[in-house]
A and B are shown apart, each in its own frame.
Chain A
Amino acid sequence: MTIWRLELIRLFRTLRWAGLLASYLAFGILGPLITRYQEEIFRSVGGGLTIQAPPPTPGLAFTAYLGNASQIGVIVTVFIAAGSLAFDAKPEWAAFLRTRARSLGDLVVPKVAVMTAAASASFALGTVAAWVGTTLLIDDVPAGAMLAGTLAWTLYLAFAVSVVALAAGLSRSVVGAAGLTVVVLLVLPVVAEVFPAVRQWAPSTLVGAIVEMVDGRSATDFARAAAVSVGLSAGALWGSMRLLARREV
């Protein structure tokens, strides 16, 4: 039993995997469906009102999917990650782990890696569902955009989970760590909107990469945001270990 296996068991025995999968896969299925049939849906619930929806496009289908994934999916990811990374919330368990690990990195890195991998896999499955649904119901979607966009999201999820690790160094509680992370993830896109020069560097730009690439933008347009995400993730991990090392249990 290693920390890596501990984290995998945590995912599967506590049904956290189901929460992750559901939060991405459900929206991956619903996004193209709702986009394709939104006029019919509006008509059936509109009570006689005529609502004109824009014609369904792959870009709109993925906007619907990513809009939910980037909110509900990411929040679920953040809370599940906080449940693992805020191990100091239970001092006795923290004492067990801290007195046995060679370094805090031995604890934090596997937790961040397993959580990022699980969230990315769930997102990838959701994306496949959205891709298949969009292709069947609306139009073809370029595979390159899908792959590059999924990779961009993986980097964003790694960034989000690393911020959870940093927040767990600031707050002992699961809710505190998750709450801090959600605030950071909410503030970032606002900053990017207020300061357009920041936008191409902000990790939050990666969230919409799939849609923009479906609409024709190049993957290299997101290279700066990807590089910044990697750098900030590494910095957050380093900061997390520094903060955790300073904490008394």
Chain B
Amino acid sequence: MAEPVARTESIRKVYGSTVALDDVHLRVEAGSVYGLVGPNGAGKSTLIGLVAGLRRPTAGSVHLGVQRRRMSVMPDTPRFDTWLTAAEVVDLARTMVAPELPASSVAEALAQAGLADVANRRVGGFSRGMLQRLGIAATIVSEPELLMFDEPASALDPLGRYEVLELIGRLAQRSTILFSSHILADVQRVCDTVGVLREGRLLYQGPLDTLLSERVQHVYVVRVREPVEPLAQALAGQPWVRETSPLGHGRLRIEVTSVAEAEARVAGVVDSVGARLISFEPEAADLESVFLELTSGERPA
């Protein structure tokens, strides 16, 4: 197996009497978009800071599969000297890391981050969202192999968030990306790998699809032309149905004991009560429900 771009071995970080991270084995594979999710105070920023070399572990170690200079990190609330222009900030990032890149890469990075129009404005007047975009531009200008974003879209409006996630999706074609977020929909939208942190422990790490499919419950949603009550009563009488609950607008949630029986028999039950079937599909597990399930339990041993 190829060496990961970033991994930690039994990493532990303690601040005074607070254990920020405990026995964390992070593994970020090359080419992946790794989403680090967790409640506030879970240790996401600390973990990114450790990988970036801005903090030192109390125990354990950090291993990078790329040169440190080929890695770039953006903090959650970027701040710059206010008297610099946006172009100067990005150019400083380029010159410090990759002076061999042409000066035109500064304008390209600013354009990608949506700041082309304000390239020559001083950053002192920038909004928090603009500063976050500027942080992204300064992070991507040197074309790093590993990009780390700490809450990259937290200060952005919905459109800005959409654009940043689109950008991250495009960047994933040439870089490995590790980003933290408490907005689970963002992670689900762009990540292929996810790590779930709670109270400094990594509760899950692996492909997002696997996480979601492993936790798919035996739940279906059937939609018929109303009224839905006859169908609900008929289904409730089936031995393979555990519970039914109406969702409104002709939709009915069915929790079953057997996926095979449900898939074989639901259509027959619909037919038996004369209902007109519009759709029948498994209820998709989303990251939010899985996250709540994972993080609502007792602290893991």
How many angstroms between the C-alpha atoms of A91 and B93 in the bound complex?
Answer: 16
Q: How many A-B pairs with Cβ below 8 Å?
A: 62
CB of A248 within 8 A of CB of B88, answer no
Q: For the complex, is B95 an interface residue (Cβ under 8 Å from A)?
A: yes
B residues contacting the other copy or chain, number (CB 8 A): 28
Residue of A nearest to B92 (CB): A1
Bound complex: CA of A99 vs CA of B69, how far in Å? 8
Q: Report chain A residues within 8 Å CB of B78.
A: 92, 96
Classify the interface of chain A: helix, strand, loop or mixed.
helix
Query: Is A172 an interface residue, CB under 8 A from the partner?
Result: no
Pair A96/B138 contact, Cβ less than 8 Å: yes
A97–B75 Cα gap in the complex (Å)? 12
Establish whether residues B54 and A96, one from each chain, have CB atoms under 8 Å apart when the complex forms.
no
- Cβ of B56 < 8 Å from any Cβ of A? yes
Q: Is B189 an interface residue (CB 8 A)?
A: no
Q: At the interface with chain A, which of B35-43, B79-87, B224-232?
A: B79-87
Q: Per-position contact with A for B27-56: 1 when CB-CB < 8 Å, else 0?
A: 000000000000000000000010011111
Whether A248 touches B56, Cβ cut-off 8 Å, given contacts A3-B96, A9-B88, is yes
Please indicate the chain B residues that have their CB under 8 angstroms from the CB of A248 in the complex. Answer: 49, 54-56
Between A and B, 7 residue pairs with Cβ closer than 8 Å are: A9-B88, A96-B75, A96-B78, A96-B80, A98-B53, A98-B54, A106-B96
Known: A3-B96, A10-B83. 19 other contacts (CB 8 A): A1-B88, A1-B91, A1-B94, A2-B96, A6-B92, A13-B83, A14-B83, A92-B77, A92-B78, A92-B79, A95-B73, A98-B53, A99-B52, A99-B53, A100-B72, A100-B142, A101-B96, A106-B96, A248-B56
Q: Which residues of A contact B (CB under 8 A)?
A: 1-3, 6, 9-10, 13-14, 90-93, 95-102, 106, 248-249
A-B complex: 4 closest residue pairs judged by Cβ atoms: A100-B96, A92-B79, A1-B91, A1-B92
